[in-house]
Structure 1
Amino acid sequence: MNYRFQNLLGAPYRGGNAVLSQNTKLISPVGNRVSVTDLIKSKTVTLPVESSSNICRIAVSPDGTFLLTVDENQRCHFINLHCHVVLHRVRFKYPVNAILFSPNGKYIAVGTGKLVQIWRSPGFKKEVFAFELIRTLADCNDKVTALNWSPDSNYLLVGSKDLAVRLFYVKEKLKGIHTNKPFLLLGHRDSVVGCFFSVDKKTDKVNRIYTIARDCYMFSWGFSGNDGKIDETMEDSEPPSPGTPERRVKKWGLLRKDDFSQAPSKVTACDYHRGLDMVVVGFSNGVFGLYQMPDFVCIHLLSISREKITTAVFNELGNWLVFGCAKLGQLLVWEWRSESYILKQQGHYFDVNCLAYSPDSQLLATGADDNKVKVWTVSSGFCFVTFTEHTNAVTALHFMANNHSLLSASLDGTVRAWDLFRYRNFRTFTTPSSRQFVSLASDQSGEVICAGTLDSFEIFVWSMKTGRLLDILSGHEGPVHGLVFSPTNATLASSSWDKTVRLWNVFEGKGSVESFPHTHDVLTVVYRPDGRQLACSTLDGQIHFWDPLNGELMYTIEGRRDISGGRLMTDRRSAANSSSGKCFTTLCYSADGSYILAGGSSKYICMYDVADQVLLRRFQITHNLSLDGVIDFLNSKNMTEAGPMDLIDDDNSDTEEGVEKQTRGKLDYDLPGALPNRGRPTIQTKCLKIAPTGRNFVAATTEGVLVYSIDESFIFDPTDLDIDVTPEAVDAALNEDQPKRALILSLRLNEDNLIKKCIFAISPVDIPAVASSIPYRYMQRLIEALSDLLESCPHLEFMLRWCQELCKTHGNTIQQNSRNLLPSLKSLQKSITRIHQDLADTCSSNEYMLQYLCSVGAKK
């Protein structure tokens, strides 16, 4: 039950602006969350902080400590990046299109509607009123689109949709900030996308201003007839005081106009690097350009996408360029000097339909409506291969037991086998006439492949070795949406919309062995890991548990009340009274079979105890109000005669921004009679999978693939404690040279640091004696501690000796209780496999050096 959100896969970028912190950390918004990618360590972490809706703008402080996020509801979070904690919250009155920290980190400029607000930046100390509004600039006639501070934080450039750029002199006084009337830079014929200060490298003073508009024109501005020094007398509207000599007035003048020559495309993103004096520009046709200023020399002009580039930014050193495409979920980091990719990630264009864990829990495969199969490394959050051979939606995935090949089924009528060593499609299974496959299974040996169809209601059986069609199983009268082999024998279970679950003996070819009737359509079916129980969900919201050996119904869980929650915009009834969508479309047993996870067209994932048939916990997968079905009650103030106000597109914002909203995918047939939502995407869970180690589970949702992991916080068994079991007693036993007693006490406390300390206190000679004295009840805790140490500890031989002695002395006990110990044993296997792979790679790359060292040692 102790699961918490860990990461978000499948969608590295969904819109807004990306920023680079400390030169190597890429921060990008993903829906209503923020992902931080370490470009050196190649690892992505999604912050657990959620906004109320999709994040549209982010800004990071100059020292990389604080992060500002603003969502579509104008709610702002001030986040400590190192601790992943929200420090302060504030809400703006108007939509925010630009936000930026000053270079000295003291102030925050916010373009909210037509206003520019200057706030004092909060710090670590607790404050009653953290966000202090110092100044509001109300000089713009349309919404603010761009902001830029001068290097000394004394000047602020403001670009807006009214075709003008305004230069403000921002002077800090004792009581706040003082601003004079702005200087106007006019001449653009379209809204301003970017405005930047250029600095003279010799004097470190501002000498130019660059402004870029949507119509692919860039203006360069400079001083007319002076030394380029900016001071308070720059504003030509300020008259001299009476009785004083008239001061010399400094003005900005237009030096040159440059055309990017990309019409009819528009400029959608741009950035400027002061140190290199270079400009990068992204266009709506997917092309980007890199230009050397002030002579406007084009260095690169390349196409990286067919859709518009929504963010383009330099890193601190200027050697990397970051590009993002919101429509394709694409995020690139490009080294422009060597013309090579540092990072190339792309999410699924449509919703993820299916998931599959590799047997060692290190890889995760995803299939979606965009016809692609992606394989991710769970620990790093990176996608390392994408298969694009399918021509229609991918509906089912299955990892083979050898961990090196993957199966995928699709609506295009093919089942394909993928080689994860050579990254190729090495076998394709087809049928005499085209069929649409929606379910997939393979037996334990990997010799037989089965796929269920949507249109012909049949199950096709192939040979994995030859690719030949062996058999066609007929008998169902509806789409076969569930297909799974028993973990212990060759029995195949299938579920269909014809209200039955059927068992088949595939190898004997006798057809259906047994049929379990239901009163409603059966949506999915799963086997318990020990093969002694079968669970299936029906359209009336119930989960039925069957004994497959005796053919008896064991018990039923009523889940309609548990999964209900969240009202759609198009619903005429409240969520409590609505009858649609209250059923589970995906089920998954835990690794030990003690509980089951269930999800469907709801914002909840339910966890049930199988033995007691009780709800243990409900996970709310998102609080994002940009999705439909998240809120339980609709506000009557937002209802009009034409329908909900949120679904009325009163301006052409989608066309202008180049973002098309996905209303439904190709698999919106899962719930018969469900009305399609013509407005916003609807929150739902399409697939659930628990890792074989039992320490993670993933959910394919509208937000992406959510990864939940077991919280490693301190949890002990209170029934196993008495007054003498304390950390002090553990230390005392170690000081008295009683490592065996200390280890037992630490296992009873179940405190991770104490257990590992006691393991290291035991000498290698005493390992067999101590291992044989460990009671079985503490075996799982000890195995979990060893698997954690194998991931990070350098004493490899010491850890492997522990594993070897445990298997020797407790082999029979482990075999008899394999079901309970299976998750921890899988974790241990995962750690050993990972170390073996790392060592194999290291040894193969240093083969000749090792041979030399061995030969030198032999001679000595």
Structure 2
Amino acid sequence: MNYRFQNLLGAPYRGGNAIITNNTELISPVGNRVSVTDLIKSQTITLPVQSSSNITRIAASPDGVFLLTVDENHRCQFINLRQRVVLHRISFKNAVNAIKFSPDGSHIAVATGKLVQIWRSPGFKKEFFPFELVRTFADCDDKVVSLEWSPDSSYLLAGSKDLTARLFCMKKLKFGVFKTKPFMFLGHRDTVVGVFFGIDKNTNKVSNVYTVTRDCYIFSWGLSGNDGEFDGMDVTEPPSPGTPDRDGDGTVEGVGSGDIKKRKGYEGRGGNLDEEGGYLLNRKWELLRKDSFMQAQAKLTACDYHRGLNMLVVGFSNGVFGLYQMPDFVCFHLLSISREKITTAVFNELGNWLTFGCAKLGQLLVWEWKSESYILKQQGHYFDVNCLAYSPDSLLLATGADDNKVKVWTVSSGFCFITFSEHTNAITALHFMANSHSLLSASLDGTVRAWDLFRYRNFRTFTTPESRQFVSLAADQSGEVICAGTLDSFEIFVWSMKTGRLLDILSGHEGPVHGLMFSPTNAILASSSWDRTVRLWDVFDGKGAVETFSHTHDVLTVVYRPDGKQLASSTLDGQIHFWDPIDGLLMYTIEGRRDISGGRLMTDRRSAANSSSGKFFTTLYYSADGSYILAGGSSKYICMYDVADQVLLRRFQITHNLSLDGVLDFLNSKNMTDAGPLDLIDDDNSDAEEGIDKQTRGKLGYDLPGSMPNRGRPIVRTKSLRIAPTGRSFSAATTEGVLVYSIDDSFIFDPTDLDIDVTPEAVDAALNEDQLSKALILSLRLNEDSLIKKCIFTVNPIDIPAVAASIPYRYLQRLIEAFADLLESCPHLEFILRWCQELCKAHGNSIQQNFRQLLPALKSLQKAITRTHRDLADTCSSNEYMLRYLCSASSGK
């Protein structure tokens, strides 16, 4: 039961801005979560923390330790990236369009509405007021959409929708007052979406300012004049809204305009400047040049500037991006990624990699512009994921969605390595063959396709004489027979895998066949239908339905227990029925209506407790040992039940994202108006370039399943559940994407056979006396992972057979799990494999007799051995070709 959230697949990017920290770590928002991708190791993880709604803006500290996230509800989280925990929280009054740490990491600039706020950056220590507001600039006449700090953190550039950019000074004058009015960069015809400082490499000081506008122009500004004055601008300023001025130590300055005039040497204009940071205050800016990106039919939606290389990257609404050398405005590259809008574009620290994101396609790219090659290329499903399938070795996970695509993911890295797009309609079911080398997919387009995972091609297509819509799929253990259930004709079609010929059509159901599964132990096929029956079919003998289990409500899905001795079915009244398929008897029933009951929808007329909608399970799946079952449906919960005792063990809440409908149990009556719920009234007049794109309609123009009209709030639900054959993890296809949960091994003390004499000291004493068997058994009883591995490595290879034979059966599962864990990280491959071989020799009969209890541990061991074998095979193959090349090259000389 000790599962915890591990990763989010199927949706690498959904909107907002992406950033790169430590030159190789790509951080991107995914819904209300944050994904971190290591571009060197090619691995991605999703932070366990969640925001209250979809994240729109993120910013990282210069050292890459802290992360700021801001969501649609203006709530900000201050996260420690290394520990993956939230340190502080704060809420802003208006929407945040830009947020940035200062280069020295001491302050944070926040563009919230028309205001630019400067906050002191919190640290590791616990504080009552961790966020301290230092300064507020209220000079802009419209929303501020872009910010940029100068390299010395003394100045701040802000671009606004009022067609101007402003230069703010963070330093104070000699007598403790700020520079009053900012310098304004005028002449733009559209929103200033990017502002950047250009650096003179000789003096290492700011020499240029670049402003990039939404109508595809870039303005280059240069310094002129050095008259020691403030360009006629008054020093006194109106009171700042919401906060007093504070000095560098955070103390309030009590200096007024009258007091300042009394100071010696001050006359109201001009005056002496601080030596630090005064080089921009007393000089004018002039427009040097104005250049066009020549994208007349598009809008500029994303941009970034690298100071070290003097290079600018821009992305447009037509999917084109450009790379330019500044200040001469020389175009290096002008390429197209897609036809959709580029929503983020950013350099890494060295400037050799470019990151692009397209929110509408869920696309995330990292491109090396010098070699013109991809470092990372990931794209999620365009619509909701409908179905999942684990490979038998648990290394791969396949997903099918409404976008007609089948994607195969590597579970360990979280990356998609192949996409199949031959289907012409939504994917409804997936099934991995026993050899893990081929994958089956069923679709509403009337075909079942078989995919070769070695050659990445469709090698077999199963069709019917008349077009049908398939919604369920199954294959027998031998892989000889393929079956698919239909939505429209209520039939089950049977094909031969070898020839692709249609063998039989099983008729008898009077409703759509949404559940289909072969027994793991024989050739009996179980099918469930909306006609309130579960039927068993003998496919090979052709006798038709050999057994019928009647229910009082529509049957939504059916699943076999891994040993084939039990059958579970879910009905529309929220019950799970457990049947004995051999005797045809109902064993017991679980009432799950209260457990699956989720939140209240915006359009519901009744409260969540009184509503009957969604209180049923649409997907079921047994654990590897059959002791518990997972159930999910149109709810924010996934329920785990103990099969033997019929009790609820645990509920997993898949999301806390308030951007989805059905998360809240109680709605606020203040948000109800005469025209309906306030959240469903489309009063958002902001530009499409801001925030996150909400895809609410399909290709045919109708509302997507799970979406709401107007504002398009998707409904939280779980469409498919699968437990890995190893039993160490499970995946859920939800509205948020594919959530992967794995067993939490952080707890240590879980003894299996403990008494007063079993202690770590006793283990060490047995090792010192060279009693290896006793030490290993004591460590297994204590169940301390470090002690178990210590005892394993103490055994000499010659003594392995004797020690392995002395291990009692009840400790065998824990020992196999230890070996599976060691194979993942230990370099002593031959030593561990020798242990596994001797265990199989000594306990072969016990393993066969108790295969069901040991199945999860054995699957984990098989997974580890398979992965190691693949890595070694690739290395040996590469070395072989390298040696051949070197030998041929040396002989040629």
TM-score (norm 1): 0.95
Report if the CA contact (8 A) 2:210-2:221 is conserved. Answer: yes
In structure 2, the residue matched to 1:74 is 74
- Taking the TM superposition and a 5 Å limit, the aligned residue runs for 1:294-693 are 294-653=327-686, 655=688, 657=690, 661-663=694-696, 679-693=712-726
CA distance change for structure 1 residues 746 and 852 in 2, over 3 Å: closer, same or farther? farther
Counterpart of 2:875 (choices 828, 842, 849) is 842
Aligned 8 A contact 2:570 2:577 in 1: yes
State whether structure 2 residue 287 is matched by structure 1 residue 262.
no
Instruction: Look up the match of 1:183.
Output: 183
Superposed CA offset, 1:137-176 (max 9, x none): 1111111100000001100001111111110111169999
Q: Which residue of 1 aligns with 2:783?
A: 750
CA RMSD of superposed structures (Å)? 2.4
Please give the secondary structure, in 2, of the residue aligned with 1:826: helix
Q: Closer, same or farther in 2 for the Cα pair 1:351/1:58, shift >3 Å?
A: same
Out of 274, 286, 311, the residue aligned to residue 253 of structure 1 is: 286
Partners of 1:500 and 1:492 in 2: how far apart? 14
Partner SS for 2:503: strand
* Structure 2 CA distance for aligned equivalents of residues 453 and 642 of structure 1: 41
CA pair 658-778 structure 1, distance change in 2 beyond 3 A: closer
The aligned residue for residue 215 of structure 1 is: 215
Query: For residues 754 and 666 of structure 1, what CA distance do their matches in structure 2 show?
Result: 58
Equivalent residue for 1:763, pick from 778, 788, 796: 796
- Counterpart residue type for residue 64 of structure 2: G
Aligned length: 849
Is 2:770 aligned against 1:737? yes
**CA separation of 1:77/1:694 partners in 2, compared to 1, >3 Å: closer, same or farther?**
same
Structure 2 contact 161–191 (Cα < 8 Å) conserved: yes
CA deviation string 1:632-684 (max 9, x = no partner): 00001111111111111112347454965344779999x99x99666300000
Aligned in 2, Cα 1:256/1:339: closer, same or farther, shift over 3 Å?
same
What's the counterpart of residue 106 of structure 1?
Answer: 106
| 1:291 positional shift | 1.0
Amino acid across the alignment from 1:699 = A
- Residue 430 and residue 848 in structure 1: after superposition, are their counterparts in 2 closer, same or farther (change >3 A)? closer
Deviation at 1:243, TM superposition (A): 9.5
1:181–1:235 Cα contact (<8 Å) kept: no
Contact 1:351 1:665 in 2 (8 A): no
Q: Which consecutive unaligned segments of at least 5 residues does structure 1 have?
A: 855-860
Write out per-residue CA displacement over residues 339-381 of structure 1, whole angstroms, 9 at most, x where no aligned residue: 1111000000000000000000000000000000000000000
- 2:166 corresponds in structure 1 to 166
3-state SS of paired residue (2:763): helix
Structure 1 stretch displaced more, 547-556 or 232-241:
232-241
Contact 2:619–2:721, Cα closer than 8 Å, also in 1? yes
Contact 1:235-1:250 within 8 A present in 2 as well:
no
Structure 1 counterpart SS, 2:875: helix
Aligned mates of 2:175, 2:651 — CA distance in 1: 51
Amino acid at match of 1:577: N
Distance in 2 between residues matched to 1:112 and 1:390, nearest whole Å: 45
Q: Judging changes above 3 Å, is the alpha-carbon distance between structure 1 residues 59 and 44 closer, same or farther for their aligned structure 2 residues?
A: same
Conserved in 1, the CA contact under 8 Å of 2:16 and 2:692?
A: no
Residue of structure 1 in register with 2:91 after alignment: 91
Where in structure 2 are there 5+ consecutive unaligned residues? 237-264, 273-280, 888-893
Structure 1: distance between partners of 2:707 and 2:716? 14
SS of 1:391's partner is coil
**Mean alpha-carbon deviation: is it higher for 706-715 or for 389-398?**
706-715
For residues 543 and 18 of structure 2, what CA distance do their matches in structure 1 show?
59
Query: What is the identity, as a one-letter code, of the residue corresponding to 2:431?
Result: H
Give the aligned partner of residue 224 of structure 1.
Answer: 224
For residues 177 and 421 of structure 2, the distance between their equivalents in structure 1, rounded to whole angstroms, comes to: 56
Instruction: Note closer, same or farther for the CA distance 1:51–1:144 as it changes in structure 2 (3 Å cut).
Output: same
Deviates more, 1:592-601 or 1:111-120: 111-120
Task: Work out the CA distance in 1 between the residues paired with 2:760 and 2:185.
Answer: 70
In the alignment, which residue of structure 1 is the partner of 2:157? 157
Q: CA deviation at 1:242?
A: 3.3
Taking a change above 3 Å as real, the CA distance of residues 816 and 175 of structure 1, as seen in their structure-2 partners, is farther
Separation in 2, partners of 1:741, 1:760: 14
CA deviation map 1:205-256 (0-9, x unaligned): 11110001111111111112459xxx98477445994399889952111111
Identity of aligned residues (%): 82
| 1:452 CA displacement | 0.4
**2:125 is aligned with 1:134:** no
Quick check: 1:134–1:177 contact (8 Å CA) kept in 2?
no
Report what 2:246 is aligned to. none
Distance (Å, rounded) in 2 between the aligned partners of 1:760 and 1:814:
24
One-letter code of the match for 2:114? K
Contact 2:234 2:268 in 1 (8 A): no
CA displacement at 1:439 relative to structure 2: 0.4
Distance 1:659 1:146 in 2: 16
The change in CA–CA distance for 1:744 and 1:188 in structure 2 (over 3 A counts) is same
Distance 2:765 2:400 in 1: 55
Secondary structure, in 3 states, of the residue corresponding to 2:570? strand
Where 1:86 maps in the other structure, the secondary structure is strand
Q: Is the 8 A contact 2:14 2:692 kept in 1?
A: no
Deviation at 1:770, TM superposition (A): 1.0
C-alpha contact 2:473 2:516 (8 A) present in aligned 1: yes
Letter in structure 2 aligned against 1:352: V
Letter in 2 for 1:108: I
Letter in 1 for 2:27: I
Secondary structure at the aligned position of 2:170 is classed as strand
